[in-house]
Structure 1
Amino acid sequence: MIIAEGVELRELRPGDAAGLAAALTRSREHMAPYEPVRPPEFYTERGQAERIEGLLAERDGGRMRPFVLADTATGLPVGTINLGSIVHGPLCSGGVGYWVDVDRAGRGLATAAVEEVCRIARDEVGLHRVEAGTTTYNTASQRVLAKCGFVRYGTAPKYLHVNGAWRDHHLFQRLLHDADPS
């Protein structure tokens, strides 16, 4: 699925490990204020291969849909977006998390990816709602969520350990439909 000029959204593949390691390394400093402190292995091809293996196992168990934003010319990753924590039944909910390569930031890629993943969550996965959280100071991500119809519904104190400390997070949700769960 083409989401922007030169960028497609596709499912994560085992062969994405090297490209993800390179993009994450390039974006490491830019993303540091919003991410957990990661061990050095995380930024290697092997570290990403292990991470991908875990994400694909979660997908196979029906708990996650991991995607890559990829350059259409090279096929290399320029970001990821995951629909995770998928729960069916009376909740019918999932959570979305994403990042975009520092070299592609500010071009609307995250907004386009979140919109498409919300469509997938509604039409393919059958979810009623999607939620997301941001550190209170991540205004760029908050703008993405607002553009995509997410509404802030609260603030969780010391919610996640990010950039070396427990950080407060704003919590957002987008209701996708009001049909009965199937």
Structure 2
Amino acid sequence: MPATTSRSLPAGVTLRLLRPGDGPALAAAYTRNRAHLEPWEPARPPEFYDADRQAELVATELRSHDDGRSVPFVLERGDRIVGRVNLSDVVLGAFRNTHLGYWVDASLAGRGVMTAAVEAACAHARDDLGLHRVQAATLLHNAASQKVLARTGFERIGTAPSYLRIAGRWQDHALFQRILHDD
């Protein structure tokens, strides 16, 4: 998806690429959703929620995007960032694979926004990046995220013990994949 292109989603939300000036809006979004996200993400130091730190992270993500290693999307409603969708670890060659990560603002959970955003990200991976496969992982008890994956064509392929350090401890994850091409 070129930087000037965006996609409309339910509830007046737009999916677009991350931009250089998004640091303050991301800091506000993470601060607003801190309690909502803490059970599902790595433990964050206090400076993670600062606009300056988010601006640094934006710059890092944009370099990764420029190098073809990732696609950092944001969900925007009006002038507020209300979520993220990331395609990371993009690998070409014989693998043609990426990892999917996402979150949505607590006020928009359960309204179809993330389902539409994941579908759009997968279409981008297939149509614009030419990828064959998208993989995702959720905590075993994250039923809401697993429903999003099921609704968007992902299949569960296994369990990874102690897969990621989430909420301060190594936790098991359910692994999912979506095959984008049959050939």
TM-score range, shorter chain: over 0.9
Please say if residues 66 and 83 of structure 1, whose CA atoms lie closer than 8 Å, have aligned partners that are also in contact. Answer: yes
RMSD: 0.9
The CA deviation string for residues 82-129 of structure 1, in whole angstroms up to 9 with x for no partner, is 111100011000011001111221111111100000000000000001
Equivalent position amino acid for 1:112 in 2: A
Query: Contact conserved, 2:10 with 2:113, CA < 8 A, in 1?
Result: yes
Match of 2:171 in 1: 167
**Runs of 5+ consecutive residues of structure 1 not aligned to the other structure:** none
Query: Offset at 1:47?
Result: 1.3
Q: How does 1:1-182 map to 2 (within 5 A)?
A: 1-71=7-77, 74-179=78-183
* Poorly superposed stretches of 4+, deviation over 3 Å: none
Task: In structure 1, give the amino acid aligned to 2:126.
Answer: R
Distance 1:151 1:47 in 2: 36
Residues of 2 paired with 1:6 and 1:23: CA distance?
Answer: 17
Task: Describe the superposition over 1:31-72 as per-residue Cα deviations: whole angstroms up to 9, x where unpaired.
Answer: 11111001111111111111111110100110001111101x
Q: Indicate the larger mover: 41-50 or 121-130.
A: 41-50
Conservation of the 8 A alpha-carbon contact between 2:11 and 2:111: no
TM-score, normalised to structure 1, is 0.95
- Give the paired residue count: 177
